[in-house]
Homo-oligomer: A and B are copies of this chain.
Amino acid sequence: MDNLNQLLSFSSLVQEDLSNVENRLRNSVKADFPALESALELIFKSGGKRIRPTMILLAGRMINAPHEKLVTLATAIEMLHTATLVHDDLIDNAILRRGSPTLNTHWSPGATVLTGDLVFACSARLAAEIDCIPAMKLFSQTLIDIVNGELNQMFESRYRPNREAYFRRIFAKTASMFQTGTVSASLITADDPQVKKAMSDYGYNVGIAFQIIDDILDFTGEQTTVGKPVASDLRQGLVTLPALIYLEEHPDQPDFTDLQHCENGQANEIINHLVEDIRASNAIQKAHAQACEYVENGLKSLDIFPDSPEKRAMQELASYIVERNF
C-alpha cells in the first residue's frame, strides 16, 4: 500500500480498514498462472492514494454503516477504479502511471484488455457481495456513465473550449464514482433521504474538485511527478478548466480550434506557447478558486451531521483535495 496514507491524518481513523481493503483487492482477483500474478501485482502496487476507499470508509463510519458491507463497498469501488485505469492506459498508450510502468508496457494489447476485463468482473462480484440491489444498480450505472464519458471524449471535437462539456466530462470521469461511493454508503445503512442527499452532495462536489485539481496539476506538475508530459490533455486537444478560463479571458488569442488543421510541428509550437501563457497567467489560481468553491459546497452538505471524529476527517479530506500538489 502507498505509504502516503500513513501521512494523511484524516485516514488514520480508517487505517485498519484500509489495510482490509488492500487485502481484499489482492485476494479478490485470483491469478491462475505466474505471468498474470505479476501483472496484477503491478496493477495493485501502483495503487496511489486510495482516496476513494478512504472517503467511503469515513462516510460509512460517520453514519454507522454495517462494517463488513462497508469494507466490501470500498473495495468494490477501488476495484472498479483500477479496472478503468488498466483500459485507459491501454487506450492512451500510456507508459507510466504514478511513476510506475503501466501494464501495457509489459503485455500485449489483448492480454491487457482481458486483464482489465478480469478486474471489472471482480469489481462486479464485489458489488454483488454488498448484498444491496440499489447500490448494485448505482454501481453499474456509474460504469455506464464513465465509459460513455470516455467514448464522448474520444469522438467529440478537439481543441474546442466548452464549459458545459468540461463539467459533464469530469462528472463522468471522476465525480460519478466518488458520488456512487458515498451514496452507496448511505444505501447500505438506512433509507434516509436526507442522509442520502448529503452523501450525494459531498461525493459529487469533492469529486468535481478532485478532478479540477488533477487538471491543474497537469499544467503545474513536472513530468516526473505526474508521470506524463506537462499539459498532456491540451496536447491531445482536450480543453480543461485552466485552459478554458485562459481562453475565455483572452478572446484575442488566435483561433485555437484551428489547431487540428495545423501540421504537427506547428501545432506543437503553438501549444507550447499557450501552455507557458496559461502557466504564467492567473487562470491556474482561478481554476483553483473554483475547486475550492466545490469543496465548500461539499463541506456544507456535512452540516446535517453531528460533530464526530469521522466528520472532522471528512472535512480534512475535502480540504486536502484542494491543497495537494501531487
Contact = CB atoms under 8 A, between A and B. Distances in A.
A125 B114 CA distance: 20
A101 interface: no
A137 interface: yes
A128 B138 CA distance: 9
A168 to B, nearest CB: 10
Contacts of A117: 87, 120, 143, 147
B128 A136 contact: yes
A225 interface: no
A116 B300 CA distance: 39
B137 A114 contact: no
A148 interface: yes
Contacts of A144: 118, 121-122, 125
Interface in A56-96: 87, 90-92
A325 interface: no
Interface in A92-145: 92, 109-111, 113-118, 120-122, 124-125, 127-129, 131, 133, 136-137, 139-141, 143-144
Contact of A151 (B111, B140, B147): B111
A141 B91 CA distance: 26
Number of copies of this kind of chain in the complex: 2
A115 B113 CA distance: 12
B91 A110 contact: yes
A120 B118 contact: no
B113 A151 contact: no
A80 B108 CA distance: 24
Contact of A150 (B114, B131, B154): B114
Contact of A128 (B120, B133, B150): B133
Given A141-B125, A144-B125, A114 B133 contact: no
A36 interface: yes
A141 to B, nearest CB: 6
B36 A151 contact: yes
A156 to B, nearest CB: 8
A110 B154 contact: yes
Contacts of A114: 87, 91, 147, 150-151, 154
Interface in A139-195: 139-141, 143-144, 146-148, 150-152, 154-156
A155 B91 contact: no
A164 to B, nearest CB: 14
13 contacts: A33-B151, A91-B114, A113-B116, A115-B151, A120-B143, A121-B143, A121-B147, A124-B127, A124-B140, A128-B137, A129-B137, A131-B133, A133-B133
Interface of A: 30, 32-33, 35-36, 87, 90-92, 109-111, 113-118, 120-122, 124-125, 127-129, 131, 133, 136-137, 139-141, 143-144, 146-148, 150-152, 154-156
The 10 closest A-B pairs by CB, nearest first: A91-B110, A125-B140, A124-B140, A121-B143, A128-B136, A121-B144, A128-B137, A118-B147, A117-B147, A114-B151
